[in-house]
Amino acid sequence: MSIINSENTRILNNTYEKFCNSIKFREGEDFYTENPVIYELSYNENPLGPGTLAKDVIRNHINFVHRYPPLGYSLLIDGLAKHLSIKPENFIITAGSVAAINLAIHQFTDPGDKVIYSKSSMPWYRWSVIGCNAIPVEIPLKKNMHHDLDCILKSIDSKTKVIILSNPHNPTGLYIQENELLSFYKRLPQNVLLLIDQAYYEYQTNQENKLIEILNDAPNLMLTRTFSKIHGLAGLRVGYGMSTEKNIQALKAKWLGSFPTITAISSYAATHALSDKEHLEKSYKFNQEIKDFIYKIADEYEIKYVKSEANFVLINIFDSIKNEKFFTNQNMALTCGYFFGYPEWVRLSFDKRKSDFLMKLTDIFKLEDLRK
């Protein structure tokens, strides 16, 4: 990997500092309390937290934090292989799914190569691209806020090496059927890696497996998922990538060069979270119910929204910079649309204090000033 040039170093550090300053309230330990004053709706976390099985593992391993973690993560990988019906050789475990995405960009691009993704996507895509001196190519979403697959295809040239698509997409929550993605994949040059970020996969209404089923016969396809969302383990940073055995071996070689391991507690908590069907069903049900209620009160007060296949909802408040105050006045921290190029929208995830959260949201939706 080449040295990050001075201009890209400046861009990355300035962006990172702004990002950290925008969430300064999270830096203090007093934020991590059972009933915080702030309704944290900006990170798309599972407000129910981890399930019982993961909690038990975390408690059991507290006395063993002086031990180094496993290096092969075989229990977790075997659990994933059984759960998804693919071979253990198809997996790499990383510190969140963003680390798997970062590895792929660093392994499959050289300085000056291009990586294509939708313009409103999460900042880690761009940061990873710039971090290896590749060129980010940002394609605007269509008017309906879906990925513009046709425009992405037209943007491919001899320098294009990776295409990243989040599905469901963050920040819109919109989902592309896997048949459409398969058709898109078949139209790609063989030397262009299609990377599908499936961080919100478990929240989808229809959890398809067509992409996984072709994985071994798809040399330029990679999928990433995470334990940070429905499993409620965002603070432990566990994600994984799935691809052909050849691609996984290449990613492991890159991973070994920097050796960013996850902790033993993270590894075993994720292993047991995977089999906690009760918690997964509870989290999915909670998410569906709270979205339906938000849609209901939004319809009642004529607030526009995007129906989401994830654990957040995009809401139109005309001017997120000016009208954000109506949410912050209620101690609600959310993501304003100017952050991802849609200044008239806000993205909010949910709080487990369901009644209080929805009552506050209803009071905000009633405000006439919200429509100005």
Architecture of domain 6-49+277-371: Alpha-Beta Complex (3.90)
Residue type, 85: S
pLDDT digits (tens, 9 = 90+) for 256-268: 877 677 999 999 9
Q: Identity (one letter) of the amino acid at 197?
A: D
- Confidence (pLDDT) at 251: 94
| CATH number of the 63-274 domain | 3.40.640.10
For 170-184, what is the mean pLDDT? 96
Kindly give, in sequence order, each residue whose CB lies less than 8 Å from that of residue 51, ignoring residues fewer than 6 positions away: 231, 232, 273, 276, 278, 279, 280, 282, 283
63: CB partners within 8 A, 6+ apart: none
pLDDT in tens, 229-242: 999 999 999 999 99
pLDDT (0 to 100) of residue 122: 87
CATH 3.90.1150.10 occupies which residues in the chain? Answer: 6-49+277-371
pTM of the model: 0.94
Query: Whole-number mean pLDDT of the chain?
Result: 93
Chain region(s) in the chain for CATH 3.40.640.10: 63-274
Quick: pLDDT tens for 300-347: 999 999 999 999 999 999 988 899 999 999 999 998 888 888 999 999
